Each structure stands twice: as structure tokens, then as C-alpha cells.
């Protein structure tokens, strides 16, 4: 520590200490090829000695790239925050980005005001890319993002924009098939379903998987729509018990809703899995906290998150970004 400067060291200080020009320092810092080994070494030493850290604002001003990407949460009904899944996404994104020395900024676009802020943020070029979470089919945000021209990917398909916004997602349809088939194999014949909102992939595709297996046997009264909350799950289960009282199994599109359903079933005097088998979706921490523990479809959220970030980085690097769908598997516990 030769130099205990009051000011933060700039590239000029590094240049001076290392005895080369600013330009050369910059080249070293950015890994450009045309630098002699001697120069590189001198610069590295000077960087260490001065404790130099690049000033992103200055770099950004010059390059018009910001070194940050924005994670946009559209969550009309706050569901995400009740959902532990989301945390997993964020941690994976942060880590992956950190490797590239990029940072993650978080924005919530729950209402018109929030969407507007996101739109302005993007238009102002404050982020190099956008990572969309739980975006609904008709969310006006999508248009704003597209208009901003900022590279964007989604975690989970944005229904209707699958071909324009690359995404990584679980095989919702396949997972639902897995669970449904399992219930059938257990000898269940009167299987109901509680879905998620139909304008989300988890809502629409899990229902498709369900009906795909059961075919025309599925009638309207056997399917109720929930909203991914626990109380929504309770409400839906009550409704289902009303419209389809003879049911001997339910496939529920999320663990949180399944926890609600479980509670209602037990309150109604139906034993689980004795009278009614219950299968969930997610395999979140909740699945082992309920009693009985949930049989549920595990989706590899950590990998989904990583893939989503990988796609975005590919996009930033000007590469092709092809959506990926990751396989799910059934975790059999006690509820079915």
C-alpha cells in the first residue's frame, strides 16, 4: 500500500504507477490482445497496488452498456412472494451474473405505475437485458419490453410470445401427465384438478397434461381454477368438493394450493390419501411440511433459472438463444 490516496484511484493513477499510457491500461483491463507481457504485468501490479476498481459510470457512458440486467417481476396478485420458488430463481440469477461481473437489479411491475417505471428504465438504457418472471399472456409490460429493444428472456414461457421471447421452463405438460398417470396407476378413477391461472404456462399447460391423459373423461365440473395461493387452493377445493363430490383424487397445480386443498379435505372428513389422493406440483419446501407430506412433481427450478440467465447472456453476446424445456419428475411421498 504505497499510496494512501484520499480519492478513489482512477485509470490515470494506474497508468502513472505502471508507467504506461491510459490506453494500454484500458486494453489490459478489457483483455484486449495487443499488449506486451511486460506492460500487462506492470499494469496488474499497479492495479493491485493502487486498489483500483473501474468506475462503471464512466465506462457505461462511453460504451453505453451498463453491466447490469434487470429482473422484472410481474405479479398482479402478489403470488410470487408467497412462493418460495422465486427465491431460488433469484439466487441462481445473481450467481450466474456475478461470474460475468454483472449485477442484478430488481423491479416489480405489479401495477400500471410499476410497469411504467420498468418501461422508462428500459428505454433509458439502464440495463443491458431483461429477465421476465411470471409474466402473464396479455401483460402490457411485454409490449413495453419489446418496444424498448432491450434483449429479453423469460423464466417460464410468456404465452403467445413464445417465438419472440426465448425462455427456459419446466416441462409443465409432461409433469402434469406424470402426476395424472400416477394417480390412474394407483387405481384412482375420479380425478379432479385445481389449475393455476390459465394465462400462465403453469396454468394452461398443466391442465393440458391432465386432460391429455384422461381424455374426454374430463368434464367441466372436475376442473376448478385457482390462483396459486393457499387460500385460493382452499376455495378451489371447496368448490370441487361441491361440483365433483365423488372424487377420489385431485391433481393440484402447485404445492401451496395443494396445502390448502389438503386442509379443506381433512376438514371435510376425507382422509388423505385414503379417501382422496392429492398430488401437487413444484416440490417446494412446503411439500415436506404438510401432513401427509405431498406427492408432487419436482421441477428443477435451479436449473431453469440458470438456463434462463444463460439464454440472456447468449443474447447479449449476440448469439442464438433457443428456448429450453427441462424435464420434471414425480416425487412420491404420502399424499398419493
Distant-in-sequence, close-in-space partners of 182: CB < 8 Å, separation ≥ 6: 279, 295, 330, 332, 336
12 binds, among a copy of itself, DNA, none (CB under 5 to 8 A by kind): DNA
Residue 98 gets which letter from DSSP? H
Alpha-carbon distance of 46 to 29, in angstroms, equals 12
Size of the site for a copy of itself (CB under 8 A): 53
Nearer to DNA, 42 or 256 (CB): 42
Q: Which residue has the cell 387405481?
A: 187
- Judged by CB under 8 A, which of 124, 164, 217, 319 binds a copy of itself? 124
Residue 8 gets which letter from DSSP? P
- What's the residue count for the chain? 336
Nearer to DNA, 29 or 324 (CB): 29
DSSP string, 29-48: HTT-S---HHHHHHHHHHHH
- Judged by CB under 8 A, which of 16, 49, 56, 198 binds a copy of itself? 56
Grid cell in block for residue 262:
389438503
Alpha-carbon distance of 334 to 278, in angstroms, equals 9
Grid cell in block for residue 251:
391433481
Residue 286 gets which letter from DSSP? G
Site string for a copy of itself, 249-278 (x = CB under 8 A): -------x--x--xx--x------------
34 binds, among a copy of itself, DNA, none (CB under 5 to 8 A by kind): DNA
Which stretch of DSSP H or E encloses residue 93?
Answer: helix 85-99
Strand order in the sheet with 295-298: 223-225, 191-195, 249-252, 277-282, 295-298, 329-331
Query: Cβ of residue 124: shortest distance to DNA, in angstroms?
Result: 8
Site string for a copy of itself, 5-24 (x = CB under 8 A): ---x----------------
Nearer to DNA, 9 or 280 (CB): 9
Q: Which stretch, 48-56, 74-82, 199-207, 220-228, contacts DNA (CB under 7 A)?
A: 48-56
148 binds, among DNA, a copy of itself, none (CB under 5 to 8 A by kind): none
Nearer to DNA, 47 or 159 (CB): 47
* DSSP helix/strand/coil, 298: strand
Using CB under 7 A as the binding rule, whether residue 59 contacts DNA is answered as yes
- Sign (positive or negative) of CA dihedral 265, 271, 273, 277: negative
Using CB under 8 A as the binding rule, whether residue 26 contacts a copy of itself is answered as no
Write out the binding residues for a copy of itself, residues 274-333 only, by CB under 8 A: 285-286, 288-291
* DSSP helix/strand/coil, 259: helix
Alpha-carbon distance of 72 to 108, in angstroms, equals 6
The burial of 94, by beta-carbon neighbours within 10 Å (0-12 exposed, 13-18 middle, 19 or more buried), is given as middle
27 binds, among DNA, a copy of itself, none (CB under 5 to 8 A by kind): DNA
Using CB under 8 A as the binding rule, whether residue 147 contacts a copy of itself is answered as no
Q: Which stretch, 36-44, 250-258, 270-278, 322-330, contacts DNA (CB under 7 A)?
A: 36-44
Binding site residues, a copy of itself, CB under 8 A: 8, 51, 53-58, 60-61, 64, 66, 68, 78, 80-84, 86-88, 90-91, 94-95, 98, 103-108, 114, 117, 120-121, 123-126, 230, 256, 259, 262-263, 266, 285-286, 288-291
Binding site residues, DNA, CB under 7 A: 7-8, 10-12, 20-27, 29-30, 33-36, 38-39, 52, 54-55, 58-59, 61-64
Amino acid at each position: 500500500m504505497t499510496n494512501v490516496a484520499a480519492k478513489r484511484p482512477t485509470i490515470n493513477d494506474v497508468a502513472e504507477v505502471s508507467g504506461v499510457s491510459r490506453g494500454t491500461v484500458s486494453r489490459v483491463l478489457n483483455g484486449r490482445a495487443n499488449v506486451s507481457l511486460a506492460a500487462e504485468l506492470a499494469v496488474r501490479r499497479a492495479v493491485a497496488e493502487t486498489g483500483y476498481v473501474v468506475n462503471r459510470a464512466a465506462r457505461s457512458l462511453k460504451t453505453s452498456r451498463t453491466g447490469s440486467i434487470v429482473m422484472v417481476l410481474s405479479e398482479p396478485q402478489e403470488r410470487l412472494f408467497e412462493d418460495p420458488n422465486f427465491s431460488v430463481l433469484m439466487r441462481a440469477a445473481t450467481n450466474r451474473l456475478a461470474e460475468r461481473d454483472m449485477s442484478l437489479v430488481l423491479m416489480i411491475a405489479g401495477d400500471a405505475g410499476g410497469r411504467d417505471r420498468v418501461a422508462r428504465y428500459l428505454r433509458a438504457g439502464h440495463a443491458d437485458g431483461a429477465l421476465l418472471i411470471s409474466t402473464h399472456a396479455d401483460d402490457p409490460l411485454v409490449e413495453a419490453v419489446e418496444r424498448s429493444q432491450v434483449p429479453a428472456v423469460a423464466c417460464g414461457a410468456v404465452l403467445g410470445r413464445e417465438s419472440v421471447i426465448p425462455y427456459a421452463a419446466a416441462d409443465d405438460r409432461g409433469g402434469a401427465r406424470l402426476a395424472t398417470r400416477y394417480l390412474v396407476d394407483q387405481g384412482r378413477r375420479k380425478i379432479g384438478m385445481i389449475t393455476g391461472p390459465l394465462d400462465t404456462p403453469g396454468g394452461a399447460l398443466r391442465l393440458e397434461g391432465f386432460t391429455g391423459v384422461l381424455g374426454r373423461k374430463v368434464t367441466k365440473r372436475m376442473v376448478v381454477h385457482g390462483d396459486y395461493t393457499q387460500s385460493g387452493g382452499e376455495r378451489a377445493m371447496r368448490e370441487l368438493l361441491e361440483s365433483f363430490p365423488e372424487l377420489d383424487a385431485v391433481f393440484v397445480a402447485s404445492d401451496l394450493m395443494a396445502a390448502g386443498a389438503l386442509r379443506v379435505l381433512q376438514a371435510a372428513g376425507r382422509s388423505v390419501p385414503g379417501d382422496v389422493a392429492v398430488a401437487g406440483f413444484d416440490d417446494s419446501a412446503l411439500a415436506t411440511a404438510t401432513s401427509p407430506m405431498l406427492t408432487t412433481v419436482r421441477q428443477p427450478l435451479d436449473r431453469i433459472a440458470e438456463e434462463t440467465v444463460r439464454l440472456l447472456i447468449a443474447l447479449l453476446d449476440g448469439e442464438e438463444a433457443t428456448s429450453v424445456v427441462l424435464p420434471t419428475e414425480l416425487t412420491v411421498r404420502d399424499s398419493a
